[in-house]
Structure 1
Amino acid sequence: MGLIHANQFELKVIKKIFWELLFLLGLALSINALTYLNFDSSYGFLKIKAAAVASGKYLPFYYLHVLFGGLILFAGFIQVSKWFRTKWKSFHRGVGYFYVLSILFCAAPGGLGMSFFVDRGPMVLISFVLQSALWFYFTLNAFLKIKRGDVVAHELWMWRSFSLTLAAITLRLYIFFSSYFFDLSQPMAYAIIAWASWLPNLILVEYFKGSLFASFKTKRHLHVQRS
């Protein structure tokens, strides 16, 4: 039993450090997103999207997705925080409305529109379109569940939504590290990154929060107890 308690303590410490690092990365991305308020079409990431910008259709989608996406990322951490949910309920509710409405009317539609300007092949397009659609669907369900008073279901759907919000971080991390080993100009290499940026996040939420892996987790728990 002592070993189990020690392992649980270590896991809590690792979990705390992990979330703190993730929050700092998210905060950095949120601040970086706000720098695009200069609305300079040749600034930062937009430098490599000159052809898309020249089309006259890309920038509205981009600004909707990026400017609101940065704030949504920060708001998401507040929404999944137990401390804010219990100590600052009114604030949690207000931030929740911002999170939901910003995704439904700005970030998800913006991301969907941007998907069609990513010239990396059909697998990348499918990944980003599906991600945007699921992000919208998960967030809408989270909103509908809480309006009906189903707090448990609301929390699960919110975690699903947040897992896709976190793709803003994981996508950039994977691109940064993979660029040292792979040629990301190749459609297949970028397709792997595109899918890996959000699908594992969602699988982890289903494992820890959902019922998809309930049978597996029960068997694993029994095995740990017996050992």
Structure 2
Amino acid sequence: MTTRPDAMYAGYRFPAEVISYAVYLHFRFPLSLWMVEEMVGLRGLTISHETVRQWGLKFGREIATRIRQRRLARGDTWHLDEVVISVAGKKHDLWRALDQDGFVLDVLVQSRRDTKAAKRLLGKLLKRQGRAPRVLITDKLKCYAASKKALKLRSEHRQHKGLNSRAETSHQPTRRRERQMKRFKSPRQVQRFLSIHDPINNLVHLRRYRRPAAEYRTARAQAFAASAEVACVPLAA
């Protein structure tokens, strides 16, 4: 019995398995568009790097949206942090929020690092998560406390640089992609890319070092099955 192709792949000459595989490679690993083109080419398929880019824009956004719609349970402890990135020669701040298990809750690119920016991030988180955190962990930047007060949150607020290493470490994949992509070209490009990159990576965030090998492989197989389900393609045998 053959699986009926998903409507979002209609009109494309390549099968859904090829498209979803290229999109997965692009957003899951720090690969350039040319590297993805070559890896797909090794399987006997000829596509261009521009095709990979266009697939990423269309299908990556749809897959990320479907992942968010699954409304997976996230932790009640939020780690917030910001890092400076260079976009077209100008400095911007990339704000990121994670839960205590390391799952990325949201990202936001902004041109300022003040109370208004922190309040915007928190407001977006509250709207998307549908609840306030039990504990809020940040560094000692004063705008976090000011935005928490402005939004009348009753969450416990812990401000200590050592407690927020999880959020600081979460910026490393972005730094690698920034180098691979020869720096980001615009704030919109950063926001668009990371809004797809982080949900896809959340599916396979398995924390291998805390699991026995057999348990890790089982969890990885479940993650691959969830990825195939979201992309509406059969799981590879």
**TM-score using structure 2 length:** 0.27
Which is helix-richer, 1 or 2? 1
User: Would you tell me which structure has more strand in proportion to its own residues?
Assistant: 2
